[in-house]
Amino acid sequence: MKDKISIIIHTPTGKEPKIISFKIKYIKYFSVLVLVFFFLSFFSYLLNVFFVQKYFWLKEKEKKIKTVTKLNNKYKEELTKLRNNLIKLENYLIERGVIKKDKDALGGLSRLKAEELSDEEYLSFLISQSEKLFNQLRITPTGFPVSGEITSTLGWRENPFGSGYEYHTGVDIKAPYGDPVYATAEGIVKYAGWLSDYGKTVIIKHPSGYETLYGHLSKIKVRSGEKVGAGEIIGYVGSTGRSLGPHLHYEVRLGSKFLDPLKFIVWK
């Protein structure tokens, strides 16, 4: 009986006890099966936990990929918009003669840059081009030198001091006496002083090749040879020289040619 285990079951009625015998080898087999069952159950639990975590991880990763893809597409769209806006600005400046069209122009051969460079490198390229355009604008006469009403433009006009006609070389802007006059672009003061019929005058030479003249000033704030920035006060409205009242005579020159200041004051 050594290879068996017996269980004696007593009944409360006083009947003969029941004896149930199990072979030890079967109990061992059963124990092994129980252990295997628990092992498999535990292993299954671990697998479920792993795959559930993996599922949520993949879902989160998929969500992040979609977000990154969306942002990347948006980035490329904005990059294209930036490039197109810069090309429009560049073409406009080329048409106005502010800059020259060359191989480095955004709308020219440089559009191949989009294929040659990564998005980040191309963005840096566009930023450098925008800085070039800005630097060119900074040295090109732009906007009003003083706030006021334009009373006379470039060209032939009746002589306000007598009979006949005379050629007016700029525009007259009526403004209150003493109002500040601003440089319309960065440059070097070429002349600051009294200049014949212009009265007290400032002439600025700009790196772009243009020159601007500000005449009939009441007071000059800058000196010859001084560097001035765009928007810097260079004098004040007056009526010196050949003048009928407070106003600013403003000219834009390129070499010996008088250009229409209106094209620089109001860009259309």
Give dist(CA 246, CA 217) in Å, integer.
9
The matching CATH number, chosen from 2.70.70.10, 3.40.50.720, 3.40.50.1100, 1.10.150.20, for 149-265 is 2.70.70.10
> Is the per-residue pLDDT at 103 higher than 70?
no
Instruction: List pLDDT tens digits, range 5-32.
Output: 666 666 666 667 777 776 777 777 778 8
Q: Which of 93-107, 116-130, 139-153 has the highest mean pLDDT?
A: 139-153
For the chain, the DSSP string reads: -TTEEEEEE--TT-PPPEEEEEEHHHHHHHHHHHHHHHHHHHHHHHHHHHHHHHHHHHHHHHHHHHHHHHHHHHHHHHHHHHHHHHHHHHHHHHHTTSS---TTSTTTGGGGHHHHS-HHHHHHHHHHHHHHHHHHHHTS--S-SSSSEEEE-SEEEE-TTSSSEEEE-SEEEE--TT-EEE-SS-EEEEEEEE-GGG-EEEEEE-TTSEEEEEEEEEEE---TT-EE-TT-EEEEEB--SS-SSSEEEEEEEETTEEE-THHHHS--
Q: Stretch 183-205: mean pLDDT, rounded?
A: 96
Question: Widest CA span of the chain, in angstroms?
Answer: 153
**Regarding predicted confidence, which is higher, 238 or 69?**
238
What distance lies between CA 115 and its chain's CA centroid? Answer: 21
- 214, 185 contact by CB (below 8 A): no
Give dist(CA 248, CA 266) in Å, integer.
17
Can you give the pLDDT at residue 115? 61
- 222, 258 contact by CB (below 8 A): no
Can you give the pLDDT at residue 260? 93
Q: Stretch 125-150: mean pLDDT, rounded?
A: 87
> Is the per-residue pLDDT at 117 higher than 80?
no
**Regarding predicted confidence, which is higher, 79 or 111?**
79
Can you give the pLDDT at residue 41? 82
Q: Which two tokens stand for residue 215?
A: 């005449």
Can you give the pLDDT at residue 96? 65
Q: Stretch 179-207: mean pLDDT, rounded?
A: 96
- 174, 206 contact by CB (below 8 A): no
Question: What average pLDDT is seen over the chain?
Answer: 83
Give dist(CA 223, CA 74) in Å, integer.
51
Give dist(CA 234, CA 188) in Å, integer.
11
Q: How confident is the model at residue 97 (pLDDT cuts 50, 70, 90)?
A: low
Q: How confident is the model at residue 109 (pLDDT cuts 50, 70, 90)?
A: very low
**Regarding predicted confidence, which is higher, 22 or 142?**
142
Q: How confident is the model at residue 88 (pLDDT cuts 50, 70, 90)?
A: confident
The Cβ of residue 240 has, within 10 Å, a number of other Cβ atoms equal to: 18
Give dist(CA 191, CA 202) in Å, integer.
6
Give dist(CA 3, CA 16) in Å, integer.
24
- Residues of the chain with pLDDT > 90: what percent? 37
pTM (2 d.p.) = 0.64
> Is the per-residue pLDDT at 268 higher than 60?
no
The β-bridge partners of 212 are 204, 252
Spell out a b/e string for 161-189, using b for 16 or more CB atoms within 10 Å of the CB, else e. eeeeeeebbbbbbebeeebebbbbbbbeb
Q: How confident is the model at residue 238 (pLDDT cuts 50, 70, 90)?
A: very high
Can you give the pLDDT at residue 226? 97
Q: Stretch 185-201: mean pLDDT, rounded?
A: 96
> Is the per-residue pLDDT at 3 higher than 60?
yes
> Is the per-residue pLDDT at 132 higher than 90?
no
